[in-house]
Amino acid sequence: MDLIYGTYNPSKFLSMVKMLEGLDINLMHLDSFDIEIVEAEENGKEPLDNAFAKAMSYYKQLKRPVFSCDSGLFFDDVDEEDQPGVYIKRVNGKVLTDLEMQAYYSDLARKYGGRLRAYYKNSICLVMNENTVYRYDGEDLNSEKFYMVDRPHDVFRKGFPLDSLSVDMKSMKYYYDLQEGEDDNLGVISGFRRFFIKVFNLSESNKV
């Protein structure tokens, strides 16, 4: 089946393709369509609010099944003013570039001694039509806890600027330094895969 992933972020799109590999789902991105698509506004207080707003906006423009995801970033033991939540990219009313995000969160980690305990709260909304909408933000979509540190890794991936600051708490290695398959909870989260299996009654044996 064909599904539109409502994102313009190529890194997020490729990450989702990897998450759903082997399922009978063919993903398309917003650039697949030769029409002008207005980007959805993200004014919700929770990730699920933004996921719904984006998915419904893109469905209304494309009239085809579409899903969107949204995330909030949360730190343990920080002042409320330093808790990003859904405003990961927006600081003091300004939308940061990837490099500005990396610099901001590097400085924030330095403020708290060089590292912060962090996790991502993720959500997904799938709009099949205006009357059939699936929303989910269960804990199995959340990332594991990790450290966000003040010294960035040499690897920088456009669309995922904070991965360069992310360190696995068990091994104390940057995620970019882990061996293939050693740990992929930040990039490939099984909860997203289970969401689609449940919604469409898919089997792990189904192949694209």
Task: Return d(Cα 58, Cα 131) in angstroms, integer.
Answer: 15
Give domain status of residue 120, yes or no: yes
Q: Could you give the C-alpha distances from 78 to 87, 113, 144, 204, in angstroms and in order?
A: 15, 11, 18, 41
Task: Return d(Cα 58, Cα 38) in angstroms, integer.
Answer: 8
Give the count of beta carbons closer than 10 Å to the beta carbon of residue 14: 14
Task: Return d(Cα 104, Cα 121) in angstroms, integer.
Answer: 20
Which range (64-68, 125-129, 188-192) has the least confidence?
A: 188-192
- How confident is the model over 190-208, as a mean pLDDT? 80
Give domain status of residue 205, yes or no: no
Q: How confident is the model at residue 152 (pLDDT cuts 50, 70, 90)?
A: very high
Q: Could you give the C-alpha distances from 65 to 4, 5, 37, in angstroms and in order?
A: 6, 9, 15
pLDDT tops 80 at residue 108 = yes
Give domain status of residue 31, yes or no: yes
Q: What is the CATH number of the domain that holds 98?
A: 3.90.950.10
Considering the chain, what is the average pLDDT of its residues?
91
Q: How many domains does the chain have?
A: 1
Give domain status of residue 149, yes or no: yes
Give domain status of residue 101, yes or no: yes
pLDDT tops 90 at residue 189 = no
pLDDT tops 90 at residue 179 = no
Which range (81-85, 116-120, 179-183, 185-189) has the least confidence?
A: 185-189
Tokens for 37? Answer: 């698509």
Residue-wise pLDDT tens digits, 40-72: 888 889 999 999 999 999 999 999 999 999 999
Q: Which domain holds residue 122?
A: 2-200
Q: How confident is the model at residue 93 (pLDDT cuts 50, 70, 90)?
A: confident
Give domain status of residue 176, yes or no: yes
pLDDT top residue among 41 and 193: 193
Which range (32-36, 111-115, 188-192, 202-206) has the least confidence?
A: 202-206
How wide is the angle at C-alpha 19 spanned by C-alphas 17 and 23, nearest 5°? Answer: 80
Give domain status of residue 187, yes or no: yes
- How confident is the model over 187-194, as a mean pLDDT? 78
Task: Return d(Cα 26, Cα 58) in angstroms, integer.
Answer: 17
Give domain status of residue 208, yes or no: no
